[in-house]
Amino acid sequence: MSDGKSQITRAEVDAFLAQFALPDGGNLISRDMVRALRVEDGRITFIIEAETPQAARALEGFRAALQQALEAQAGVGAVSIALTAPTQAPQQAPQQAPHSAKPAPDGPPSLKIGGHAKPQSEPMNPKGVARIIAIGSGKGGVGKSTLSSNLAVALARQGRKVGLLDADIYGPSQPRMMGLTKRPASPDGKTILPLHNHGVTFMSIGLMLPEEKAVVWRGPMLMGALQQMMTQVEWGELDILLVDLPPGTGDVAMTLCQRSKLTGAIVVSTPQDVALLDARKALDMFATLKTPVLGLVENMSGFVCPECGHEAHIFGQGGVAAEAEKMGVPFLGALPISLETRLAGDAGTPIAASEGAAAEAYAQLAARLVAGGMA
């Protein structure tokens, strides 16, 4: 910890890392394993990128020793070091075809996913779930899924019981970002047992299919899959269930809004005009379906250079806040674009699970939802 001397500099941190030997030779600097290094007000944050997930796990002891050594240096206030590696697609065990209803000889019953939706007399709200919030966007590429996973983790860190449903059936990216690849169990061929990580209860169609497998379904199959994931998953007692919708205004979003009682929806957009054009369509969809819009979030709002600290607004600034005021809906906050967020998502540990400026931005968003009684 700091002993009252001047705060440590970036050059001093680089020099320290260059002399801290790796177990198998060399150091983090000579082997180019440091990513997103930031030194600010005595606080040091960076990511160690190993070659493989196995190598990253083997470096946990080294990471802990390095963090302890850095914390002991003069002028250091706090240290946060994360481990990551390029994620490899998991080896898929042979599975029965989705349409088969026969159980495997030595395994749990097979589960049919994606049949046509069944008639229902009640809203398809899971029992024990107090609130459901849909997270949508008018177009893809605005970081909706990244926001969903990080917001779920941020809410869990604030003591909420949180579920996350990846309803982006055509492009289910949440299993990768949440660090989950195991196929959910089904003890009776009907009930689905969700997975858990980072304090979040989780389910995605991506867990039921090989990662490279495309979902080639029409509307009725999509509606059936959503109904199953809402009503057959054992969600348990939750304060809030976040539903990561597909981009746009298609069947999944319509089905969720029409067949469930939602607390409301959050719309995500980047600041530039072309994204806001599509965000307005999402707002109009929720209004048409009589789903309250809890607010707008501006994602990729600004980029802070880790070298010089200059903030650049790559996609513009303030466009979403201005749109929220124009449409008469709350503006929930702006989130930065950062290398740390991308690396953390690729590694299966959302940035909200760590410390630093990006994590704090999600923590503030979660706090606003909690304070407003929405989560």
How far CA 124 is from CA of 93, 245, 374, in Å, comes to 32, 16, 20
- Give the length of the chain: 375
Name the pTM for this structure. Answer: 0.72
CB of 195 within 8 A of CB of 175? Answer: no
How far is the C-alpha of 246 from the C-alpha of 251, rounded, in Å? Answer: 9
pLDDT 10s per residue in the chain (375 long)? 444 458 899 889 999 999 999 998 889 988 888 887 888 888 898 888 888 878 888 999 999 999 999 999 999 988 988 888 765 444 443 343 343 333 333 344 456 666 666 667 678 899 999 999 999 998 888 989 999 999 999 999 999 999 999 998 888 899 999 999 888 888 887 889 999 999 999 999 888 877 677 776 777 888 888 988 999 999 999 999 999 999 887 889 899 999 999 999 999 999 888 788 888 999 999 999 999 999 999 998 877 777 777 777 777 778 898 989 988 999 999 998 888 898 888 889 999 998 888 899 999 999 999 998 887
Q: Is 62 helix (H, G, I), strand (E, B) or coil?
A: helix
State the DSSP H helix or E strand holding residue 357, giving kind and residue range, or none if neither. helix 357-371
At 375 the pLDDT is: 79
- The reported pLDDT for the residue numbered 165 is 96
Give all strands (DSSP E) within the chain, no chain letters: 34-40, 43-49, 78-84, 132-136, 162-166, 195-197, 200-204, 240-244, 264-269, 293-298, 303-304, 311-312, 331-334
3-state class (DSSP) for residue 133: strand
- Among 339, 347, 332, residue whose Cα is nearest residue 151: 332
Closest alpha carbon to 17 in 46, 52, 43, 40:
46
Q: What are phi and psi of 265, to 5 degrees?
A: -135, 150
User: What is the structure's pLDDT at 115?
Assistant: 61
Cβ 42 vs Cβ 2: under 8 Å: yes
Tell me the DSSP string of 139-169.
Answer: SSSSSHHHHHHHHHHHHHHTT--EEEEE---
Q: Classify each residue of 139-166 as buried b or exposed e, where b means 16 or more C-beta atoms within 10 Å of its C-beta.
A: beebbbbbbbbbbbbbbbbeebbbbbbb
Domains within the chain, CATH numbers bracketed: 10-84 (3.30.300.130), 132-371 (3.40.50.300)
- Chain mean position to CA 103: 33
